[in-house]
Amino acid sequence: MKILVINPNTTAAMTESIGAIAKKYAAPGTEITVCSPEWGPRSIEGHFEEQIAALATIETVVRYRDDFDGFVIACYGDPGVNACREVTDKPVLGIAEASMHTACLLGHKFSVVTVIERACALIEDGVKRVGLSDRCASIRSTGMSVLEIEENPQQAVVQMVEQGRLAIRDDGAEVICLGCAGMGPLDDQLEEQLGVPVLDGTACAVKMLEGILAYGKSTSKVRAFAWPEKKELPGCSPLLQSVTSSAD
């Protein structure tokens, strides 16, 4: 079972730490490869970067679609996940959706603790898209950027514990989802301090993807995620063009 974990951010250190988590929790028979797109933002904190990263991620899935059994998109905006579901018949999971679905099995309500304030709006739309608004107690910001968290993890822990505690005490959260792939390595520390399950999306997605692959299932191709229609894509990269030139 070969899984490609794509970090839509082009920051090598983050890609590395995401890969470490994915490998740490992967089953014995799972071969994890981690990569980031060849181009795109160093970090994703708003719609602009998300849209760039989405296309770069889609291109990455196309590039490797014959080489892996399934794909994980390791950014909490799940950039491009639905488009990726169209360009391959292998399953594709975003870490936000995976962590939210997992959280619902472990507690009555979950909260997401994330980076700077503006990301909360993005994640709120994500929760609505997934359909789990009723189960989401709150989305809270640490006020730190993705790269600040990467560079200063101990400060990040302090902020995240503070927001996590407020989520548990004031919002009724019972599970905390880490709202940024870069926060993954902090999950154990946080869980110890908060006393509730703290979920890293990458770990959740790898485990759910292994399960889906072992069960022999993949994306439904009858409607929303059918193969793209055949059409021209003038000016696009050969990889992207390969998707719709050969479609029938």
> If you write DSSP's letter for every residue of 130-164 in order, what string do you get?
HT-GGGEEEEEE-S--HHHHHH-HHHHHHHHHHHH
92-94: strand order across its sheet: 31-35, 2-6, 70-73, 92-94
Q: Does 229 bind its own copies (CB under 8 A)?
A: yes
Residue from 66, 67, 154, 235 binding its own copies (CB under 8 A): 235
12 scored as a contact of its own copies (CB under 8 A): no
Burial (CB count within 10 angstroms: exposed 0-12, middle 13-18, buried 19+), residue 7: buried
Residues 126-165 close enough to bind its own copies by CB under 8 A: 128-135, 145, 147
106 binds its own copies (CB under 8 A): yes
Token representation of residue 138: 């709150």
Could you say whether residue 211 binds its own copies (CB under 8 A)? yes
For its own copies, the binding residues in 76-105 under the rule CB under 8 A are: 80, 82-83, 85-87, 91, 93, 97-98, 101-102, 104-105
Give yes or no for a contact between 71 and 6, defined as CB atoms under 8 angstroms apart: yes
What does the block give as tokens for 91?
Answer: 């399953």
Q: Which is nearer to its own copies, 34 or 96 (CB)?
A: 96
CA separation for the pair 7, 12 (Å, rounded) = 9
> Which of 20, 33, 166, 174 lies at the binding interface for its own copies (CB under 8 A)?
174
Q: Which is nearer to its own copies, 158 or 233 (CB)?
A: 233
In the complex, the smallest distance separating the C-beta of residue 136 from its own copies, rounded to whole angstroms, is 9
Q: How many CB atoms lie within 10 A of CB 230?
A: 11
Q: Which stretch binds its own copies (CB under 8 A): 150-158, 159-167, 178-186, 196-204?
A: 196-204
Per-residue contact track with its own copies, 60 to 79, x per CB under 8 A? --------------------
